[in-house]
Chain A
Amino acid sequence: MLIQFIIIFGCLALGELFVWLTGIKFPSCIIGMILLTIFLKIKLIKYEWVNKISNFLLENLAFFFVPPSVALMKYFDIIKAEWLPIILATVISTIIVLIASGWTHQIFRKHFFNKKEDKNGTSKK
């Protein structure tokens, strides 16, 4: 189990190091996630070394959001002043992002794969 912690926190620490070195304004944890993917891909890390802890962490991902979300209570005053535009604009825009990216992906995917199949088809002939 120790190795599992070492790898997750190792990637996170490398992410922090990267942010510190480059001064880039990007979350260290996302850089850590990309590093973990790369390390697994190049077989520097074995899947068995991270599977237990990653399953545990991912199963409880939503729970870890509870404490930071309680911070909402601090900002009731700000929300109260302009609550209607804030809530409506956020809801409408979230729906737009969902549909725009979902639809675009679905359409591109069909188009992209049809073309690929065509190519394969002609090359076979």
Chain B
Amino acid sequence: MELLKNSFVLVFITFAFYYLAKLLQKKTNSVLLNPLLISITLIILYLEFFGIDYETYHESGQMIEFWLKPAVVALGVPLYKQLTSIKKQIFPLIASSFVGCVLGVISVVVFANILGASHAVSLSLASKSVTTPIAMEITRILGGIESLTTVAVVFTGIFGGMFGFKILQWCGVTNPISQSLAIGMAAHAVGTSKALEVGYHYGAYSSLGLTLNGIFTAVCTQIILQILGF
């Protein structure tokens, strides 16, 4: 049926499934029923069921995805509002971002290796915590599998968004600024969207985390892997 892959229909189901997923979470209040995860699953099921390939969906999905970049630019507004308070604590912010970046790259590569992943797969995971364009570029330079990096970045974002705040709370990170910074560091813009839901001005620290981690990861990954002997 042609109608099933009509671009207006595909855009409609994207909106509708996301709305349903949000409604479901509101009703159940469960962390596991993350709207992003549920709506992606529903859309993939829809596409698989009707035999529609990703490229066809992408043509319509692009109209929504298009707004992702303007939305990241808009993060400049909460950032501006917190600028004075950020300036006052710029050293702790930069230092902790650096620590998080280094440990993140080392841990993912070492654990993947221990768990039996092949060399190329381990390399492709190194940049999993940063936004897709930076992550892909790093993987390309390292000689990993770029599409696997895309998967890892998406998966990291969803996992971090779902459990990030819970994990931080369990581990005694109670300061909301530290929490937001950490969630932006670990789960890039998906984590940031979660931080924005918790509180508008926390989004600023989260976007700072994603920016700093993007810069540090781009600069340091190759050096770290060389030291590790990869």
Contact = CB atoms under 8 A, between A and B. Distances in A.
Given A58-B203, A61-B71, A86-B121, A40 B76 contact: yes
A68 to B, nearest CB: 5
Contact of A104 (B44, B96, B118, B203): B96
Contact of A33 (B161, B209, B211): B211
Is chain B's binding surface mostly helix, strand, loop or mixed? helix
A45 to B, nearest CB: 9
Given A33-B79, A97-B103, A58 B71 contact: yes
Interface in A11-38: 11-12, 15, 25-30, 32-37
A93 B92 contact: no
Contacts of B79: 33, 37
Contacts of B71: 57-58, 60-61, 64
Interface size, B (range): 35 or more
A73 B151 CA distance: 9
Interface of B: 14, 17-18, 35-36, 39-40, 43-44, 47-48, 54, 57-58, 60-62, 64-65, 67-80, 83, 89, 91-93, 95-97, 99-101, 103-104, 107-109, 111-112, 115-118, 121-122, 125, 128-129, 131-134, 137, 145, 147-148, 150-152, 154-161, 164, 167-168, 171-175, 177-179, 181-183, 185-187, 189-190, 192-194, 196-197, 200, 203, 207, 209-211, 214-215, 218
Interface of A: 8-9, 11-12, 15, 25-30, 32-37, 40-41, 47, 50-51, 53-54, 57-75, 78-79, 82, 84-106, 108-109, 112-113
